[in-house]
Structure 1
């Protein structure tokens, strides 16, 4: 493993920043790092209630910043969630409403094969303002399967990138994996083959090398580990301790992966500190959607013969209903905190402000003093980063599985939600595009979405449904008839 890491560092040593162009104006020197975890549930961190796996490194960083309990991503699945983060817009505007798969499947689902590179991204905005920009980890906004003729991450404003099999350009691929083999056949970049359990350490080493060479410019990086996305493939020796904690073999592996992820994030933060970069680095931490819910986790035939426990998927939602692929809270409400020493207060928990991933783009621009691009769906919530609880904010809306061609649905039928949702203030409405299965919840008093208030709040429900359906009808992907 050490040899792999050393080779990866040498291999990507060229990821340094070029010296500041003579024509580049002096820019804000604040560094920015967005850590966007793949498939981490709302309750997977111990600072969000996980009582089994302790995540001391992530918890320590969260305790030094502002931690939010009402943060949402804009889709319960990876590709559109990442598009929302990077563009500050609802992903359906770009015909990305589910995961980007092969070209034929994308066509059948009225999906784009990749994000249009002409769209303004956070990376390009910061790059235009003098930042060195890098993406390290999961991409999934174009590339992989049979999609080799797609834009590189560098076409979206990143100076350097190192991605996984769901992207092109330089990437880390896993041995004995069909999608990785398919990715390798596409070419289009330098490839490092390494076990999945060391991929995060490689991404972090590459990001640190990039940062180390950014003395002439402030840096902006996306760090996007994908170990918490199943299949969970930890180093075998790391699984033993968890066998005494749970009999569920899937959960044993998940706990080992989660513990190692926390160690790697801790290493990244410590290295930034050792470089003298941490004090002036603004850090955003979140996850792209709720924890996995494949049908096979509920299939007894997939478990060892001697397993007689309850069948359930690994990962915690903190008691929230729904998981990945669901518009219930457990699919879209995520852990989220911001850190910037001396600028954002420490030790604050904001249980009032409602934010979503599309707000990160305009909020960061506001904090950094950079002009926010026009036509973003997100709004400036930077005051909440500074410890001001924001009560009156615009509604947030979601779509999942209302489009042609079908979508992945949760393995537990109880987690299957209506295909549209809106949250406005304390209220959340879910409904199908045809008006069926309408559900209304007061999220402040009922975050588990147990008491449907649709009959007693008919006027409010109708108002929210009208707004939601109008929004859905404004999108470029037509509702199937």
Structure 2
């Protein structure tokens, strides 16, 4: 309860900074009851959208006017990071504010109950984890998830917690991708009931659901809405008129389909923003748009034939621990509020959403260790000083160095080495390989100055030996702490 009280105190400080003043006699309960300045919060989350896939982030052909306008009147973050370079752990990190390793999410979640040697069939967001919707619900928010869930191997099953357990009062979701494609999907579930085949494209269907939920929401209390787009993850399907539009820029139909897929998300975002304006919900709504990880590599697997996503100037792609794996586009716009406006290279992470939203809503924080920090004051000033570095440990990375850390302008990366050689690719950490993983030692360090070399082209460890040694020590400490707190799966 002490952490809950701390959260209530922090909301008063933050809101006063935005020009909101309360009587000294006003209790926390009265503040919530009067709905004073608790913002509505909307998270728009794309799937496999690369750093360079929006026109405002440099794409030469794809048109995203609604997102561009949102960035123009809001905050465009050029150094924003997802919690992981792949979907499930990234999403869990966003919801919990904790490195996904702590929750036992090391790679994407497979579906079904077929027993696997690596125990990935057990992986799910465990009931004990606290999430954004759960915390906000405690202080009066209505909550909704539409789109992709990907937080449990047994989707829509009583054997594992589902979205409602974590605070989503209404959910309209799929386990993973829209199936068979984004067009006319048939695998949506609404609050535990299968919906059957739908007509239309996934991005538009989930915005339809969001709007319908907002229309039917009772009361004037604030809301938290997560709109988890399936696009532009494969299997891609896009409106024909948009595909034809982009055939003017490429002779490859599959590439035109990808371009059209991204614009279709932008159109869906535009529809939701227009609804907010029409209903007068644009006076105090914090809107965040980002991606779960970097772009898929073309033809990396058989169905990735339309994966023409762009990493921009960054190195790598999805599943890499180089920048393009988890540095993704992000736009923040607090509709109706006077905030910092412009483009910034401030280092912000999806791990920061939970403490930030909790502070703005007057909610408490989880008892478990957080890896994110609140950027509530950043929204006003445009300045933030990170309290601790960002650390990623992705054992199934496509590149060699599976551990990475960013601290200020510096990024250090390392391989993991065992007595027999380098640690093999690990899909999950469980009782069978726990000792192997925990006994592996960091090795083959490299150091980059991202301020001067965002492409990670020059190892400057010898040029800056003092920084290098300091970063090695810091990474060793941070990684060991994360490793010690990582959940290990075991079959009972």
Q: TM-score range by the shorter chain?
A: 0.7 to 0.9
Q: How much is the aligned-residue C-alpha RMSD, in angstroms?
A: 3.1
Pair 1:314–1:437, CA change in 2 (3 A): farther
Q: Which residue of 2 aligns with 1:421?
A: 404
Which residue pairs with 2:227 in the alignment? 223
TM-score w.r.t. length of structure 1: 0.81
- Tell me the equivalent position of 1:158: 168
TM-superposed CA distance for 1:87, in Å, is 0.7
User: Paired residue for 2:312?
Assistant: 318
Contact 1:344 1:385 in 2 (8 A): no
> Structure 1 pair 106/48, CA: closer, same or farther in 2 (3 Å)?
farther
Residue 395 of structure 1 corresponds to 389
Shift of 1:393: 3.5
Give the superposition deviation at 1:104: 4.5
1:454 aligned to 2:461? yes
Instruction: Point out 4+ residue stretches in structure 1 off by more than 6 angstroms.
Output: 145-148
1:10-47 CA deviation, whole Å, 9 max, x = no partner?
xxxxxxxxxxxx9x844444211111111111111111
Q: Which of 436, 446, 450 is equivalent to 1:439?
A: 446
The range that moved more, 467-476 or 223-232, is 467-476
> Post-superposition shift, 1:159?
0.6
Local SS of the residue matching 2:405: strand
> C-alpha displacement at 1:295, in angstroms?
4.3
Deviation at 1:476, TM superposition (A): 2.9
Does the 8 A contact of 1:348 with 1:387 survive in 2? no
Instruction: Give the Cα separation in 2 of the matches to 1:212 and 1:425.
Output: 44
Aligned to 1:211: 214
Match of 2:58 among 14, 37, 49: 49
- Aligned twin of 1:288: 292
- Is the 2:76–2:331 Cα contact (8 Å) retained in structure 1? yes
Q: Return the alpha-carbon distance in structure 2 between the equivalents of residues 104 and 146 of structure 1.
A: 16
User: Distance between the aligned counterparts of 2:49 and 2:179, measured in 1?
Assistant: 21
Q: Is residue 2:70 matched to residue 1:61?
A: yes
User: Which is worse superposed, 384-393 or 320-329?
Assistant: 384-393
Which deviations, in whole Å up to 9, do the C-alpha atoms of 1:359-414 show, x marking residues without a partner? 1110112223333333322111222122331245310100112xxxxx4x55xxxx
Number of aligned positions between the proteins: 427
Return the alpha-carbon distance in structure 2 between the equivalents of residues 61 and 184 of structure 1.
29
Equivalence for 2:380: 386
Matched with 1:263 is: 267
- In the TM superposition, residue 244 of structure 1 has moved relative to its aligned partner by 2.6
CA distance in 2, matches of 1:340, 1:302: 36
Partner of 2:101: 92
Gaps of 5+ in 2: 1-29, 418-441
| Residues 444 and 176 of structure 1, relative CA distance in 2, 3 Å threshold | closer
How far apart in 2 are the matches of 1:80 and 1:344? 33
Mapped to 2, the partners of 1:204 and 1:188 lie a distance apart of 19
Deviations 1:266-308 (A, max 9, x none): 11100111111122211111110001125447x9x998xxxxx
Q: 1:358 aligns with which of 351, 355, 359?
A: 351
- The answer to whether the Cα contact below 8 Å between 2:410 and 2:449 also exists between their aligned partners in 1 is yes
Determine if the alignment matches structure 1 residue 253 to structure 2 residue 257: yes
- The change in CA–CA distance for 1:151 and 1:472 in structure 2 (over 3 A counts) is closer
Give the drift of 1:152.
2.1
Q: CA deviation at 1:326?
A: 0.7
Match of 1:336 among 330, 338, 347: 330
Q: Give the gaps of 5 or more residues in structure 1.
A: 1-21, 168-172, 304-311, 402-406, 411-415
Partners of 2:470 and 2:299 in 1: CA distance: 36
Select between 210-219 and 443-452 the one with higher mean Cα deviation. 210-219
Match of residue 413 from structure 1 = none
